[in-house]
Structure 1
């Protein structure tokens, strides 16, 4: 999915779990905007052991949504390569796993909290279009660390637009 020229932002997220669900796990997300895909924020987060890849997908989505709201983004397309997670969020698939139900409830709560303030859509994308988020999730596992990086020039430009500058 390519960014549009209407000032929309795009959140891509991914999760990973080695020896799913027994080994180390992490998630990644990044938010880009405008037709150039200018990066606003990205995160690589280590989540410890014994977490499933689906749990990590949800965690990446949750953290990405939190950052989208912190940046006061109003037009957001959420893209993930997990057909299961995207379809659970849009209500097409049911959720049987109790841990995924709890994470889905967090997503639902975030979406309700910003209802009317956030124009949001969801899209399932092929894995090859989600390479950055995948690399971030795997980097978190490899380094056993968490980091969030803001691209200050792009964030400041966005905030200037929000304040009428």
Structure 2
């Protein structure tokens, strides 16, 4: 069973209107975690400030681009290379940098620690900082900026440091 981006938004809208403070839903392969008062597993960060816009007379209106669903890596990629995965703790839109045009949190070749921020995930205009929770050298980024990610989906592959 797969959920579309719109179906996830509908579920999160229902949750936000409910009396629950936090909820975790698991149905087969699908897992959704949401909290009104704060993150369930990661540290929240403030949304990025809006980027400066050109004057209205020269700006063309563009429709918002829907997030892309990221392709999951093959299990053999991880097993063959002895790499470890950094996975998404929640469903949402993944961003590699704190704001448009900024340097990414991590890049290929970076040595990271468990408390290193690897990206942020947006759910209903709430931005949550995602920590590596593992240490090693970044070998590959598996998702792109603006990809829609699922709970448990691999984000990065790390080579453990010996």
TM-score, scaled relative to structure 1 = 0.23
Q: Which has the higher helix share?
A: 1
Q: Please give the TM-score of this superposition, normalised by the length of structure 2.
A: 0.24
- Structure in which a larger fraction of residues adopt strand: 2
Question: Which structure exhibits the higher relative contact order, with contacts defined as CA atoms closer than 8 Å and separated by 6 or more residues?
Answer: 1
* Structure label with greater radius of gyration: 2
